[in-house]
Structure 1
Amino acid sequence: FSLNPNLFVRGFPPPGHFDMAGVAEVRPWVAQAEAWMAIDPNLHTRQEVQDLIDRNDIVALERTFGKRLAFGTAGLRGRMGAGPGCMNEVVVLQAAQGIARRLLAGGDAAAAAAKKRGVIIGHDHRHNSHRFALTAAAVFLHVGLKVYFMPHMVPTPLVPWGIRKLGCVAGAMVTASHNPKQDNGFKVYWGNTAQIIPPLDQEIHSQMLANTDPWTTYDISDQAVLPKCIDVTQELQESYVAMAVQQCRHLQTPLTLSSLKTTYTAMHGVGLQSVLDMWKAFGLPGEPLCCASQCTPDPDFPTVAFPNPEEKGALDRACAYADEQGSTLVLANDPDADRLAVAVRNTTEWVVLTGNEIALLLADWIWQRYKVTVEDEEDRKKAFMLASTVSSKVLRRMAEQEGFLFEETLTGFKWMGNKASDLIGTGHRFLFAYEVEIGFAIGDMSLDKDGVRCLAVFAEMAHSLHARGRGLLDQLHGLYSRYGFHKMVNSYFFCPEASKMDAVFAHVRALYGAGIPFAITANLHPPGDTSPAKKQKPLSFTVVHVRDLTLGYDSGTPDGKPSLHVDSTAQMVTLTFADGSVCTLRGSGTEPKLKYYVEVSASVEADAEALKQALMQAVVDALLQPHVHGLSRQ
């Protein structure tokens, strides 16, 4: 739904007039719907629910009120609409009340300290983002928390930086990042600048459920909220750029010898001004050429089917514009500017780099310059890098050869941010973290992915290489020659029905439950194929290790339990093969997708490529079985 001021009443209904936990058992879905309507300030979503009641559409009512959004890979995120399973004012209000209860727990002294430190709130340009941000601010103000509020659209990285700079106890960013235009979300950060993880997110969720009624009649108009908040937008933007230069810029002299032309796209998001500010502060040559059709914020994302730079074809328009301008490098942010995509022009075509390839280039750039500044070997050993467990193992190989600490975490930057915080607390030096889904973080100024400062560092590296007559693809090939050619397939099937995903994972568990090791085989010939080539022996891969982070099983540990966090509500299984290849299957935490990651490595690139294709086919045919389980690519 789109924001229409005429569809809103000024305040929420008086508190205490109903208790969600006490909804009558008779006609439960209708009762829940009516109870929800009583506290929903949005006439549009109230009408949406009333229409379901009038039609007596019990199936739709059960779908609308039978589930509740929970904190996932990136906070609360979902389709905008009515009910507890969608993003709307009521869900944001309840989330804010749950956060406020948790912040003020622990006694009077702790509550007083939290109120003094305050919270920071930002929002992107999506439909209803400003309204959702005002709702959260109104709740926090009501309980006496100081609120730093950025009233205009900002990139996500400003919120965790604001927590660090201002000493806030928590922060919230209203964004759905790269999701479709129908979605929105609510990211929550704690005082360490990382997104929340268990048990904290579970504690907040429990407080949400215990505080579903509005505590007061909230006035969530600009006139009522903004005068009570502190606008820190300009201060944070300036200090954010200054700290990024201090921590992340490696070259102290301007790159005047580089003639590299760079094109930038914001993917209809909010990154442009921050990127231009950072570019200038880093002393990079000229300015990036902006793809005009995608650099103005637009919540409807008119030029892309999905505003996700990872999606096939998402960078086509920027690449075409770059060709017109004679540019050979495209840098892109996702709409909230916390991720970075890269495309490089070779002699014949555009090559879109994977998250793993971007990470290897950045990791080497950062490590080589770190070694120049830190000569003591023991001090170098205190440096660390992180990657999600579904990302490439090439960073682990690099760490083994170079002598720095490397650790893996669960998927999602919330895990890497908190792991980085823990290691920093023990005297280690955070250099770099990444996830294959083009999320990167450099330095400890904030512990979440950041597409703006990482874009500046990548541009600095690209210009430096160009000035020395070396291209990015040549540099990448050299690094893989040093650490081994790691080839990954990172793909997915759409899986909107949970039962289909459950069936896939039940099949995988039946395979490993029958005994480890076991083999999977690629089906080289579809049913009915009678060609002579059918006599070819099918390719087989032997699974020697299984880790199931849904059931809490690890075949490689003495007690059979994994070291990473177990979540019974999220599907995730990792298989390791006899040749060292790895496959992970998981349900996306932000989209209705069943994702699969297959990685192999070899000393010869052609061998690695052939092995990757063969193993990918075996995984699809023997494990995912899309025709059996009804999975689709679209």
Structure 2
Amino acid sequence: MDDLRRDAREWLAQDPDPGTRAELQAVLDAGDEQALADRFGARLEFGTAGLRGELGAGPNRMNRVTVMRAAAGLAARLPKGGRVIVGFDARHGSRQFADDTAAVLTGAGLRAEVFAGPVPTPVVAHFVRTFEDVVAGVVVTASHNPPRDNGYKVYWDDGAQIVPPQDAEISAAIDAVGRVDELPLGKDWPVHHDAGLYLDAVTGLRLGDARDISIVYTPLHGVGRDVLLRAFDRAGFPAPAVVAEQAEPDPDFPTVAFPNPEEPGALDLALALAAARGADLVIANDPDADRCSVAVPTPSGWRALTGDEVGGLLAEHVLRHTSGDDRLVATTIVSSSLLGSIARAHGVRFAESLTGFKWIMKAGAPGDRLVFGYEEALGYSVGDDRGVLVDDKDGIGAALAVAALAAEARRNGRTLLDLLDDQARRYGLHATSQLSVRVQDLSLITAAMARLRADPPAELGGRAVESSEDLSLGADGLPPTDGLRLRLAGGARVVIRPSGTEPKLKCYLEVVLPVDGDVAATRARAAAELDALRTGAAAVLALG
């Protein structure tokens, strides 16, 4: 404990933020050993989406010292004189963290440039890949995490997120950074004002000309609204009706328990507005607008489509509007196996990657032209014959593509639900679901994974487990990752892995059933089988 108190005092001496200094001094004065150990017993590491964690003092929190150290570590791995674009969302501290990043990068001999205001993540990602002199990009965002969190996402010069060994090299460089109050800091840097380049690209997507569609949209208190509305206007769509209560950026996200469109209740206001207006479609972005959620009306009320359902629909839409046998569609090992079937039917290339869009962008082989990538967590990167426009999730591009797809279906007297039924008949019904268990103590997740590796279940949900793959040993030519894949009788599958961004253990469930006439009856059977798998998975996880 003496070492932790010493580390805390050293932190106090260099922290430029009076708020976190006061917080840490109060912890020291109270003699709160648990709080001290929580802040100084570990430090944030680069994960699936860079740095991400709770705001507060100490190396295991997001704060100005953590950010300045991250920026200094990044600068050490970049060529002097290179241009770095910095964007930020509307969360607590984001603007300050962006300015601190620019100050450190400029002081290290790089040419930093910061967006003037909060900006969607895909806008920054597109900017990085557009200019040859841009050597990296940073977005200060915690995406869909709770209000108390913030994060730090890093893009390399190709416009994609960092992957090994870049993350380890940056981490090692961060470890070598001394006191942040001794870093040379720049004082002036250019300010970037416009998302015009991104809008030019995304509104130029050649994915059909149907535009007659009525949409309700929510940015969930995030930063997507203004860019999305400009994109829809420039692309010729009617203006979506925006949920007023969630229209303005608000770091406290007052109308939702979690600002994640996947969470129960997050879409309630949008669905109510859509019902009142008789809309055709609901579209939601998460707070940094890299994810896209879709809901549609049914005879019994509105239904949110799963990420796998939207992924399958968008894949076929893109493939109908593109050409060439060098086209590649890609998804992750936890997403539906449907995309592979679609790729085979269309005669194009298919690849699976590890979880996270940084891996999707590395999927495939030389000569492949990636036209569509998606992950089940509502992330999509949409392209046309030029390939994808953003080397990461793009919630605004996906929203435009979904609107075009729905408008095309409407023009033909059909709905997205009809298209889903068509796919079920053509490829079999690929039904997916999740079990997600949130914990306070991360050691519980480590223990559960070790227990399952040592003694995988013999059956789940009434289905025999035919094989168990430890993904930490590598599988199908993929890099090792912390996960377990169970293949079950009848073509079912369960993948178990810790979340890369939240304290959760997640199970990804899939059953595949042939459709013999009645799609609705097959869906009911699949739902029952998924429920049985979910119950079985919860029992073997034994996390409460």
TM-score range (shorter-chain normalised) is over 0.9
Matched, 1:242 2:200: yes
Q: What is aligned with 2:105?
A: 140
Q: Which residue of 2 aligns with 1:474?
A: 418
- 1:584-599 matched pairs, under 5 angstroms: 584-599=495-510
1:618, CA displacement in angstroms?
A: 4.3
Identical residues among aligned pairs (%): 39
For 1:230 and 1:297, the matched residues in 2 are separated by 24
Q: Determine helix, strand or coil for the equivalent of 1:311.
A: coil
1:573 matched residue in structure 2: 484
CA apart distance, 1:630: 3.8
Distance, in Å, in 2 between the alignment partners of 1:429 and 1:565 is: 22
Match of 1:151 in 2: 116
Give the match's secondary structure for 2:121.
coil
What's the CA shift for 1:55? 2.2
1:194 is matched with 160
Query: SS state of the match for residue 419, structure 1?
Result: coil
Deviation at 1:463, TM superposition (A): 1.1
Q: How big is the shift at 1:504?
A: 2.0
Distance of aligned partners of 1:249 and 1:491 in 2 relative to their CA distance in 1, 3 Å threshold: farther
Cα 1:249–1:212 change in 2 (3 A) is farther
Partner of 1:174: 140
Show the counterpart of 2:440.
Answer: 496
Match of 1:428 among 353, 365, 368: 368
Instruction: Pick which of 326-335 and 200-209 moved more.
Output: 326-335
* 1:481 Cα deviation after fit: 1.2
Tell me how far apart the structure 2 counterparts of residues 623 and 273 of structure 1 sit (CA, whole Å).
41
Say if 2:224 is the partner of 1:271. yes
Counterparts of 1:41-60 in structure 2, within 5 Å, are 41-60=16-35
Alignment of 1:440 with 2:397, yes or no, is no
Q: Is the 8 A contact 2:144 2:288 kept in 1?
A: yes
Please state whether the residue corresponding to 1:448 is helix, strand or coil. Answer: coil
Letter in 2 for 1:617: A
Instruction: Give 1:63's aligned residue.
Output: 38
Structure 1 residue 230, shift from structure 2 partner: 2.1
Q: CA deviation at 1:101?
A: 0.4
1:364 and 2:316 are equivalent in the alignment: yes
Q: Note the C-alpha offset of 1:619.
A: 5.3
1:116-165 deviation line (CA, Å, top 9, x unaligned): x4100000111110000001000110012111210211101111111122
Could you tell me whether the CA contact under 8 Å between 2:215 and 2:279 is conserved in 1? yes
Deviations 1:462-487 (A, max 9, x none): 11211221111111111221111001
Residues 424-455 of structure 1: CA distance to partner in whole angstroms, max 9, x if unpaired? xx222111000000000012322101001111
- Structure 1, residues 261-317: CA drift from partner, whole Å, max 9, x if none? 210101001111111111112112x21111111111111111111100000111011
What is residue 529 of structure 1 aligned with on the other side?
none
- The structural deviation recorded for 1:241 is 1.2
Task: Give the equivalent residue in structure 1 for 2:208.
Answer: 251
Residue 613 of structure 1 pairs with residue 522 of structure 2: no
CA-to-partner distance for each residue in 1:185-215, whole Å, 9 max, x for gaps?
Answer: 0000001100001111000000000114227
Match of 2:192 in 1: 232
* 1:53 Cα offset (Å): 1.8
User: Partner amino acid for 2:90?
Assistant: H
Q: Give the direction of change, closer, same or farther, for the CA distance of 1:427–1:621 in structure 2 (3 Å limit).
A: closer
Structure 1 position 465 matched with structure 2 position 409? yes
Given that residues 507 and 623 in structure 1 are in contact (C-alpha distance below 8 angstroms), is that contact kept between their aligned partners in structure 2?
no
Q: 1:279–1:619: structure 2 CA closer, same or farther, 3 Å change rule?
A: closer
Q: Does 1:75 align with 2:50?
A: yes
Cα deviation digits, residues 396-438 of structure 1 (max 9, x gap): 1111222111111111111112336xx4xx2221110000000
Structure 2 residue 470 is the aligned partner of structure 1 residue 548: yes
Corresponding residue for 2:297? 345
For structure 1, the 5+ residue unaligned runs are: 1-25, 105-110, 375-379, 513-517, 523-538, 555-561
Asked whether the 8 Å contact 1:73–1:589 carries over to 2, the reply is yes
Q: Which of 71, 87, 102 pairs up with 1:122?
A: 87
Work out the CA distance in 2 between the residues paired with 1:294 and 1:441.
25
Match of 1:532? none
What RMSD in Å do the two structures reach over aligned CA positions? 1.9
Aligned to 2:171: 205
Q: 1:611 to 1:349 in 2, by over 3 A?
A: closer
Aligned residues of 1:598 and 1:612 also touching (Cα < 8 A)? no
CA–CA separation in structure 1 for the residues paired with 2:12 and 2:297: 54
TM-score (norm 2): 0.94
What is the alpha-carbon distance in structure 2 between the residues aligned to residue 45 and residue 71 of structure 1?
22
Say yes or no: does 1:395 pair with 2:346: no
Residue 180 of structure 2 corresponds to 214
Counterparts of 1:548 and 1:440, CA distance in 2: 27
Find the aligned partners of 2:245 and 2:408 in 1 and give their Cα distance.
29
| Alpha-carbon offset, residue 218 of structure 1 | 6.0
- Cα distance in 2 for partners of 1:189, 1:30 equals 35
Match in the other structure for 1:320: 272
Q: Deviations over 1:523-568 (max 9, x none)?
A: xxxxxxxxxxxxxxxx3x2222222223x165xxxxxxx521114x
| Cα drift, residue 521 of structure 1 | 4.6
Name the stretch that deviates more: 131-140 or 410-419.
410-419
Q: Distance in 1 between matches of 2:415 and 2:538?
A: 39
User: Matched residues in 2 for 1:510 and 1:586: separation?
Assistant: 15
Q: Secondary structure at the match of 1:579?
A: helix
Structure number with the higher strand fraction is 2
What letter matches 2:355 in structure 1? T
Shift of 1:489: 1.2
- Structure 2 residue matching 1:103: 3-state secondary structure: coil
Tell me what 1:29 maps to.
4
Distance 1:243 1:204 in 2: 31
What is the rounded CA distance, in whole Å, between the counterparts of 2:444 and 2:143 in structure 1?
A: 26
- SS class of match (1:418): coil
- For 1:101, the aligned partner's letter is A
Q: Which amino acid aligns with 1:575?
A: L
Of residues 519, 526, 529 in structure 1, which corresponds to 2:458? 519
Distance 1:584 1:473 in 2: 27
**Partner SS, residue 172 of structure 1:** strand
Distance 1:232 1:614, change over 3 A: same
Task: Indicate conservation of the 8 Å contact 1:520/1:619, yes or no.
Answer: no
Give the letter aligned to residue 251 of structure 1. G
What is the alpha-carbon distance in structure 2 between the residues aligned to residue 198 and residue 129 of structure 1? 26
Instruction: State the distance in 1 between where 2:403 and 2:526 align.
Output: 33
In 2, Cα distance between the equivalents of 1:490 and 1:465?
Answer: 29
Q: Where does residue 564 of structure 1 map in the other structure?
A: 478
Of 386, 391, 396, the residue aligned with 2:330 is 386
Runs of 4+ in 1 over 6 A off after TM superposition: none
Number of aligned pairs? 535
- TM-score for both structures, normalised by structure 1: 0.81
- Answer yes or no: is the 8 Å Cα contact 2:221–2:247 preserved in 1: yes
The answer to whether the Cα contact below 8 Å between 1:119 and 1:147 also exists between their aligned partners in 2 is: yes
CA–CA separation in structure 2 for the residues paired with 1:194 and 1:459? 26
Secondary structure of 1:169 counterpart: strand
Distance in 1, matches of 2:102 and 2:248, equals 27
Q: Which has the larger radius of gyration?
A: 1
In the alignment, structure 2 segments of 5+ residues that lack a partner are none
Per-residue deviation, residues 38-59 of structure 1 (Å, max 9, x unmatched): 1111122112222222222222
- CA distance in 2: counterparts of 1:500 and 1:214, whole angstroms: 35
Structure 1 residue matching 2:510: 3-state secondary structure: strand
After TM superposition, give the deviation of residue 623 of structure 1 in Å.
6.2
Counterpart amino acid of residue 263 in structure 1? V
CA distance in 1, matches of 2:339, 2:118: 35
Greater shift, 237-246 or 594-603, is seen at: 237-246
